[in-house]
Amino acid sequence: MRSIRPQRLGEQIQADLSDILLRELKDPRIGKVSITHVEVTNDLRLARVTVTPFGGQGDEQRMLRGLMAANGYVRRLLGKRLRVRHTPEIEWRLDQHTGPAVKMTTLLTELERERDVREAEE
Protein backbone atom coordinates (compact mmCIF):
# COMPACT_ATOMS: atom_id res chain seq x y z
CA MET A 1 0.00 0.00 0.00
CA ARG A 2 1.38 3.39 -1.03
CA SER A 3 1.60 6.03 1.66
CA ILE A 4 -0.28 9.31 1.29
CA ARG A 5 2.74 11.28 2.51
CA PRO A 6 4.60 11.35 -0.85
CA GLN A 7 1.44 12.60 -2.53
CA ARG A 8 0.93 15.37 0.03
CA LEU A 9 4.57 16.37 -0.13
CA GLY A 10 4.32 16.46 -3.94
CA GLU A 11 1.36 18.81 -3.74
CA GLN A 12 3.24 21.08 -1.34
CA ILE A 13 6.35 21.02 -3.53
CA GLN A 14 4.25 21.90 -6.59
CA ALA A 15 2.74 24.93 -4.82
CA ASP A 16 6.07 26.11 -3.41
CA LEU A 17 7.98 25.60 -6.66
CA SER A 18 5.33 27.49 -8.60
CA ASP A 19 5.78 30.42 -6.26
CA ILE A 20 9.59 30.20 -6.35
CA LEU A 21 9.70 30.06 -10.15
CA LEU A 22 7.29 32.97 -10.43
CA ARG A 23 8.82 35.28 -7.82
CA GLU A 24 12.44 34.29 -7.20
CA LEU A 25 14.02 33.25 -10.50
CA LYS A 26 15.12 35.89 -12.97
CA ASP A 27 16.84 33.66 -15.56
CA PRO A 28 15.62 34.68 -19.05
CA ARG A 29 16.10 31.10 -20.30
CA ILE A 30 13.35 29.89 -18.00
CA GLY A 31 10.62 32.44 -18.67
CA LYS A 32 7.17 31.52 -17.39
CA VAL A 33 6.87 27.87 -16.44
CA SER A 34 3.84 25.78 -15.60
CA ILE A 35 4.37 22.83 -13.28
CA THR A 36 2.01 20.13 -14.47
CA HIS A 37 2.89 17.31 -12.07
CA VAL A 38 5.17 16.44 -9.13
CA GLU A 39 5.87 12.84 -8.19
CA VAL A 40 7.75 12.15 -4.96
CA THR A 41 9.38 8.77 -4.34
CA ASN A 42 8.27 6.73 -1.31
CA ASP A 43 11.52 7.50 0.55
CA LEU A 44 10.86 11.26 -0.01
CA ARG A 45 14.38 11.74 -1.41
CA LEU A 46 13.49 12.56 -5.05
CA ALA A 47 10.85 14.81 -6.60
CA ARG A 48 10.23 14.38 -10.33
CA VAL A 49 8.88 17.73 -11.48
CA THR A 50 7.13 17.84 -14.85
CA VAL A 51 7.10 21.29 -16.46
CA THR A 52 5.95 22.98 -19.62
CA PRO A 53 6.45 26.55 -20.87
CA PHE A 54 3.45 28.65 -19.83
CA GLY A 55 1.22 29.05 -22.84
CA GLY A 56 3.14 26.28 -24.59
CA GLN A 57 5.54 28.67 -26.28
CA GLY A 58 9.30 28.90 -26.17
CA ASP A 59 12.38 26.77 -26.45
CA GLU A 60 11.73 23.84 -24.12
CA GLN A 61 15.33 22.59 -24.08
CA ARG A 62 16.63 26.05 -23.24
CA MET A 63 14.08 26.31 -20.43
CA LEU A 64 15.10 22.90 -19.10
CA ARG A 65 18.80 23.85 -19.14
CA GLY A 66 17.96 27.03 -17.19
CA LEU A 67 16.03 25.04 -14.59
CA MET A 68 18.88 22.56 -14.21
CA ALA A 69 21.38 25.40 -13.80
CA ALA A 70 19.23 26.94 -11.05
CA ASN A 71 18.58 23.58 -9.40
CA GLY A 72 20.76 24.17 -6.32
CA TYR A 73 19.31 27.63 -5.68
CA VAL A 74 15.73 26.41 -6.17
CA ARG A 75 16.30 23.43 -3.88
CA ARG A 76 17.75 25.67 -1.17
CA LEU A 77 14.71 27.98 -1.34
CA LEU A 78 12.41 24.97 -1.33
CA GLY A 79 14.19 23.56 1.73
CA LYS A 80 13.46 26.74 3.68
CA ARG A 81 9.73 26.35 2.96
CA LEU A 82 9.26 22.62 3.51
CA ARG A 83 9.14 21.04 6.92
CA VAL A 84 10.99 17.83 6.19
CA ARG A 85 14.28 16.45 7.44
CA HIS A 86 15.82 16.22 3.94
CA THR A 87 14.82 18.38 1.00
CA PRO A 88 14.20 16.07 -1.96
CA GLU A 89 16.48 16.21 -4.98
CA ILE A 90 14.68 17.80 -7.92
CA GLU A 91 14.57 16.04 -11.27
CA TRP A 92 13.17 18.31 -14.00
CA ARG A 93 11.20 16.74 -16.86
CA LEU A 94 9.42 18.17 -19.87
CA ASP A 95 5.72 17.42 -20.12
CA GLN A 96 5.39 15.38 -23.30
CA HIS A 97 1.60 15.31 -23.11
CA THR A 98 0.90 19.02 -23.49
CA GLY A 99 3.01 19.52 -26.62
CA PRO A 100 0.57 17.91 -29.06
CA ALA A 101 -2.39 19.65 -27.42
CA VAL A 102 -0.71 23.05 -27.69
CA LYS A 103 0.18 22.41 -31.35
CA MET A 104 -3.41 21.41 -32.10
CA THR A 105 -4.75 24.53 -30.38
CA THR A 106 -2.33 26.70 -32.36
CA LEU A 107 -3.37 25.06 -35.65
CA LEU A 108 -7.06 25.47 -34.87
CA THR A 109 -6.53 29.13 -33.99
CA GLU A 110 -4.68 29.71 -37.28
CA LEU A 111 -7.45 27.98 -39.25
CA GLU A 112 -10.07 30.10 -37.51
CA ARG A 113 -8.17 33.30 -38.37
CA GLU A 114 -7.84 32.23 -42.01
CA ARG A 115 -11.57 31.51 -42.15
CA ASP A 116 -12.38 34.91 -40.66
CA VAL A 117 -10.13 36.63 -43.22
CA ARG A 118 -11.82 34.78 -46.11
CA GLU A 119 -15.27 35.65 -44.78
CA ALA A 120 -14.27 39.32 -44.44
CA GLU A 121 -13.02 39.38 -48.04
CA GLU A 122 -16.29 37.96 -49.39
For residues 36 and 51, is the Cβ–Cβ distance under 8 A?
yes
Q: Edge-to-edge, what's the strand order for the sheet holding 46-53?
A: 33-40, 46-53, 89-94
Average of pLDDT values for 2-13? 90
The answer to whether domain 5-95 has CATH 3.30.300.20 is: yes
Q: C-alpha distances in angstroms, 110 versus 89, 97, 116?
A: 41, 21, 10
Global pTM reads 0.74
- The β-bridge relationship of strands 33-40 and 89-94 is unpaired
Q: What is the pLDDT of residues 40-77, one digit of tens each?
A: 999 999 999 999 887 555 678 889 999 999 999 999 99
Domain residue ranges in the chain: 5-95
